[in-house]
């Protein structure tokens, strides 16, 4: 086989492999642009008897249903694909789910999980504040304010202050 016939035989193979090889590269950006929806339940900071359902990664403007037990509430996703709805959900009502119209059902968690997370967050914030204040002053004086301090924050503050005093004072 001479050089010309070898080139003539290999040229179509090289071109076809280049053309086929670029197909997956062209498909990847479209797949990467598909949003990944998530949701979770948080306790309302202003009213501890209410809970917020937060959704992200939804299709902008999509109809969304939030369900707990037999109760369903409908919302519309915002222009950025987010959703924030405050609902009266019951502790005994079971898990909260979110579903974009035509999409899969997502589990957002439960009120119990949100309450536990709130407890952990308050304790952690109190521990950090107590540790930093006691480290600087060698005193375990809890902050005094007009509003009542969350009991979990207070427990965390006292634990953090005690840890800092034991380590630095």
Per-residue pLDDT, 58: 92
- Sort 27 into a burial class: Cβ within 10 Å, 0-12 / 13-18 / 19+: exposed
Question: pLDDT 10s per residue in the chain (169 long)?
Answer: 555 555 455 445 444 444 444 444 444 333 333 458 888 888 777 776 777 888 999 999 999 999 888 888 899 999 998 987 776 666 666 788 999 998 899 999 887 887 788 889 989 999 999 999 999 988 877 767 656 678 888 899 999 999 999 998 8
Per-residue pLDDT, 164: 92
- Sort 79 into a burial class: Cβ within 10 Å, 0-12 / 13-18 / 19+: exposed
Per-residue pLDDT, 132: 93
Coil, strand or helix at 88: coil
Domain ranges of the chain: 38-109, 115-168
In CATH terms, 38-109 corresponds, of 1.20.120.610, 3.40.1350.10, 2.40.30.10, 2.60.40.230, to: 2.60.40.230
Per-residue pLDDT, 145: 67
Cα–Cα distances in Å, from 143 out to 3, 129, 165? 87, 9, 16
Per-residue pLDDT, 19: 45
Distance from C-alpha of 54 to C-alpha of 106, rounded to nearest angstrom = 12
Per-residue pLDDT, 147: 60
């Amino acid at each position: 086989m001479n050089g010309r016939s070898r080139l003539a035989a290999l040229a179509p193979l090289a071109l076809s492999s280049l053309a086929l090889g670029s197909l997956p590269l062209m498909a990847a950006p479209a797949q990467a642009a598909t949003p990944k929806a998530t949701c979770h339940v948080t306790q309302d900071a202003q009213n501890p008897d209410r809970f917020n359902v937060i959704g992200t990664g939804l299709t902008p403007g999509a109809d969304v249903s939030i369900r707990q037990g037999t109760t369903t509430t409908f919302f519309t996703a915002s222009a950025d694909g987010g959703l924030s709805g405050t609902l009266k959900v019951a502790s005994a009502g079971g898990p909260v789910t979110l579903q974009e119209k035509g999409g899969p059902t997502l589990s957002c968690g439960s009120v119990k999980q949100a309450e536990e997370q709130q407890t952990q967050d308050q304790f952690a914030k109190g521990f950090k504040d107590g540790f930093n204040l006691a480290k600087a002053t060698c005193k375990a004086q809890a902050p005094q304010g007009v509003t009542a301090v969350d009991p979990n924050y207070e427990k965390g503050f006292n634990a953090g202050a005690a840890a800092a005093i034991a380590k630095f004072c």
